[in-house]
Amino acid sequence: MTATRSGAGLAIGASLCLCLNLAGGTFAATAADSASLKYPVARRGNQVDDYHGVKVADPYRWMEDIDSPETRAWVTAEGALSRHYLDAIPGRAQMTERLRRIWNFERWSAPERFGKTWIYTHNDGLQNQSVVEVADDPSATPRALIDPNTLAADGTVALGESAVSADGRLFAYALNEAGSDWQIWHVRDVASGKDLPDEVKWSKFGGAAWRRDASGFYYTAYDPPQPGAALKAANQYVKLYFHRLGTPQSADTLVYARSDRPDWEIGSSVSDDGRYLVVSASLGTDVRNTLLVEDLSRAGSSLTPVVPDPVATFDVIGNVGETLFVRTDLDAPRFRVLAIDLSHPERGAWRTVIPEGADPIDSVTLVGGQLLVHRLKDAHSAVARYATDGKLLGKVALPGLGDAVGFQGHAEDTATYFVYSSYATAPSVYRLDLATGRTSLWRAPHLAGFEAADYETRQVFYRAKDGTRVPMFITARKGTRLDGHNPTILYGYGGFDISITPRFSPAVALWVQMGGVYAVANLRGGGEYGRAWHEAGMKTRKQTVFDDFIAAAQYLIEQHWTDSRHLAINGASNGGLLIGAVEEQRPDLFAAAVPQVGVMDMLRFREFTVGKAWESDYGSVDHAQEFRAMLAYSPVHNARPGRAYPPTLVMTGDHDDRVFPAHSFKFAAAMQHADPAGAPILLRVETRAGHGQGMPTAKRIEEVVDIYSFILQAFGLAGRAA
């Protein structure tokens, strides 16, 4: 069991060396000149809504019916226009060829043992999806357990979440089609490689947790949506079920639900020894949660609240006997580790095992009787080993300023594995010996055409608008001259307690290899410095995130990394909102903007799929103060006619059922209406794709080439070979 680790944002992610000379240059007209653009007509309706006495127009409400003939016709026309523009940009073929070459490197996940079976994923380089492999030992030759690449010719059926039974005999796995978050659970016999007849539908998020005896697993699911509404309808009243193998889903046992709270989310896990079922519940994406525990070893037992009210974060790490170890920010904004005796679970009996420190505790695992504590030290990884009594056993040596993930395992394990990477270092897998604390390399890839030693990442700190010290990573070729003209991409996220850490991406490698600079600002709203950092960018304080990002751009210009004619901005999901808001507030500061799958309509996000869950971070239109704060920056509502906006590539997927694609449709239409004769404002809609998860490699490469082509065209540097 693991205390959940914050995920990374959706940065572009690929590597390419065209050996282009990108420095300097002026804008140049090409066959893709924006002067030839004529946007498809988007009808402006007369819908007006009243929020707390404020009348707000919503002229593109009709686009929320994404399957209507009118919407489909408009989206098709927008797609044709975008393809005409993007395909005419020179240098695309060379970029694609080089990107494929560098992307073609082996990668592995960290192996984990279940019974006598070791399991991990492997990708030979350009496979659309990674293959799940099993072996008797990490050093043995593995065999494929499941190859998702065989499930769809175009690679758009992806392996989602999975869970292995404690004895290693059974593999529960979920499949996602065309990028949708909806998943169907199957069970595969590990020895034979054949599927059992079990099938569980209408699950989304939540994972699966096996009982120790492998009789079945716990999972979460929603009631089936109405026909035709699966990608749009609001997801409410999630339920926790137990599925017993060999029985139909209709016979599954309801374990826990919040019939009184439609927007609560539920998660579950089973302790490593199989004794306890642990259930957590929270209001949407709120990081504060309740905690309930059931002793599965006792007949007739039921879920008992240990933390009845969501007053803080409580992530269960694991247990030793009746002692439950929990990561929490209760009375510790940068987190501490608690021990809770389940025979006396009252709050007054809790004891601190590892106290709060200067660096926030990002995640903790319990392996081989040790607590492996992952901290964020100015947004990069630092890992240490502790005994269960809190005694420090030693620090884990990491190769550099980067990101380490993994450290999974069980009570009887003597070693664990983790994956390390950085912006210039491809993911390598290490073995950690728990007795000695020594690490050794298990697998490392070889990249063709990219030499990590030629590049460097610097961490700098800049001052935000209110004087707060904010970290930023800057990656570039060694010896890059600070002449004020370097082509630069600035990425940001800033929300939902998610920390953006230095992880390898082939796209980033591509950009720096072409002579570009790649900067990542660790904005408030994220989890890089604990609760206070997160809360500083929530709800009525969301403008702080945008101010932090603008200050990062100004720093890059003031320090002569680049100038406003060579600075592009990119972000996805919540980061797409960031880009939309910032380019509207400071259109003079950027040469190009690429918002991906963004939350663009801040007054309507809760109406679709899981959007209601985001009110914990954004606020609610039901509250006047929060409504006014959201209206002030909502990208759909702040596109101002008469303003000159930078070249903008708006990106979404037709099967995005997390951030409904109408967000991007309405934003693109509003921006084109506001600036119809200015720089290109394009809408790119990927087919059979969703929010980014599970996208096949082939589509990712196409996406990166489109993004970089668009940015280079905006810089006036497209097709400039050295």
pLDDT in tens, 178-188: 777 889 999 99
How many Å apart are CA 498 and CA 4, to the nearest integer?
11
- The predicted pLDDT at position 2 comes to 38
Type and span of the H or E element at 2: strand 2-3
Type and span of the H or E element at 129: none
Is the pLDDT at 217 greater than 80, yes or no? yes
Is the pLDDT at 483 greater than 90, yes or no? yes
Of 23-37, 138-152, 162-176, 522-536, the least confident: 23-37
What residues does 56 pair with on adjacent strands? 49
168: DSSP letter? S
- The predicted pLDDT at position 236 comes to 87
- The predicted pLDDT at position 63 comes to 96
Region for residue 417 given its phi and psi (left: phi exceeds 0; alpha: psi -120 to 50; beta: otherwise):
beta
pLDDT-based confidence at 228, cuts 50/70/90? confident
Short-list 709, 664, 715, CA closest to 690? 664
- The predicted pLDDT at position 583 comes to 98
For CATH 3.40.50.1820, the residue range(s) in the chain are 47-101+449-715
- The predicted pLDDT at position 308 comes to 96
- Alpha carbon distances (Å) from 644 to 458, 638, 720: 34, 13, 27
H-state helical runs in 615-661: 615-618, 624-633
- The predicted pLDDT at position 46 comes to 97
Catalytic residue among 422, 573, 616, 664: 573
DSSP string covering 431-467? EEETTT--EEEEE----TT--GGGEEEEEEEEE-TTS
Is the pLDDT at 165 greater than 90, yes or no? yes
- The predicted pLDDT at position 654 comes to 75
Cα dihedral across residues 399, 400, 405, 411: positive or negative = positive
* Three-state DSSP state, 314: strand
- Alpha carbon distances (Å) from 328 to 6, 310, 338: 14, 12, 7
- The predicted pLDDT at position 505 comes to 95
Domain boundaries 108-270, corresponding CATH code: 2.130.10.120
Token output for 35: 């002067």
When pLDDT is averaged across residues 154-170 and rounded to a whole number, the result is 90
Position with higher pLDDT, 269 vs 9? 269
Burial of 295 (0-12, 13-18, 19+ CB in 10 A): middle
Type and span of the H or E element at 430: strand 428-433
For CATH 2.130.10.120, the residue range(s) in the chain are 108-270
Residue type, 94: Q
How many Å apart are CA 11 and CA 13, to the nearest integer?
6
When pLDDT is averaged across residues 167-172 and rounded to a whole number, the result is 98
pLDDT in tens, 17-45: 223 334 333 333 343 455 569 999 999 99
pLDDT in tens, 549-562: 999 999 999 999 99
Residue type, 495: G
Longest dimension (CA), the chain: 76
Superfamily designation of domain 47-101+449-715: Alpha/Beta hydrolase fold, catalytic domain (3.40.50.1820)
Catalytic residue among 243, 380, 410, 691: 691
Of 149-153, 267-271, 422-426, 615-619, the least confident: 149-153
When pLDDT is averaged across residues 684-706 and rounded to a whole number, the result is 81
Token output for 328: 């929490």
- The predicted pLDDT at position 226 comes to 85
Backbone angles phi, psi at 352, to 5 degrees: -80, 125
Average pLDDT score, the chain: 92
What residues does 120 pair with on adjacent strands? 133
> Is 573 an annotated catalytic residue?
yes
Backbone angles phi, psi at 705, to 5 degrees: -60, -40
Of 316-325, 571-580, 713-722, the least confident: 713-722
How many Å apart are CA 260 and CA 340, to the nearest integer?
28
Type and span of the H or E element at 99: helix 92-103
What crossing angle do the helices spanning 506-513 and 697-715 adopt, rounded to 10°?
Answer: 30
DSSP string covering 459-513? EEEEE-TTS-EEEEEEEEETT---SS---EEEE----TT--------HHHHHHHH
End-to-end CA distance of the chain: 52
> Is 691 an annotated catalytic residue?
yes
- The predicted pLDDT at position 19 comes to 31
Residue carrying the six token digits 């940015």: 711
How many Å apart are CA 271 and CA 277, to the nearest integer?
7
Residues whose CB falls within 8 Å of the CB of residue 701, separated by 6 or more in sequence, listed in order: 14, 96, 99, 100, 103
* Three-state DSSP state, 70: helix
When pLDDT is averaged across residues 338-356 and rounded to a whole number, the result is 97
Backbone angles phi, psi at 644, to 5 degrees: -95, 110
Residues whose CB falls within 8 Å of the CB of residue 382, separated by 6 or more in sequence, listed in order: 359, 374, 375, 376, 395, 398
Residue type, 331: D
Q: What is the dihedral of CA 262, 265, 270, 276, to 10 degrees?
A: -60
Token output for 624: 């006047």
What residues does 123 pair with on adjacent strands? 107
- The predicted pLDDT at position 691 comes to 63
> Strands, E, within 379-427: which ranges?
380-387, 392-396, 403-406, 415-421
pLDDT in tens, 564-623: 999 999 999 999 999 999 999 999 999 999 999 999 999 999 998 889 999 999 999 999
Is the pLDDT at 6 greater than 60, yes or no? no
Neighbours of 304 (CB within 10 A): 13
Cα dihedral across residues 8, 14, 19, 23: positive or negative = negative
Of 225-234, 339-348, 531-540, 596-605, the least confident: 225-234
Q: What is the pTM of this model?
A: 0.92
When pLDDT is averaged across residues 55-73 and rounded to a whole number, the result is 96
- The predicted pLDDT at position 33 comes to 54
What residues does 484 pair with on adjacent strands? none
Is the pLDDT at 389 greater than 50, yes or no? yes
What residues does 143 pair with on adjacent strands? 134
Token output for 543: 């403008």
How many Å apart are CA 172 and CA 189, to the nearest integer?
9
When pLDDT is averaged across residues 671-677 and rounded to a whole number, the result is 97
Buried b (16+ CB within 10 A) or exposed e, 619-656: bebeeeebbebbbebbbbbbbeeeeebbbbbbbbbbbb
Residues 73/685, Cβ–Cβ less than 8 Å: no
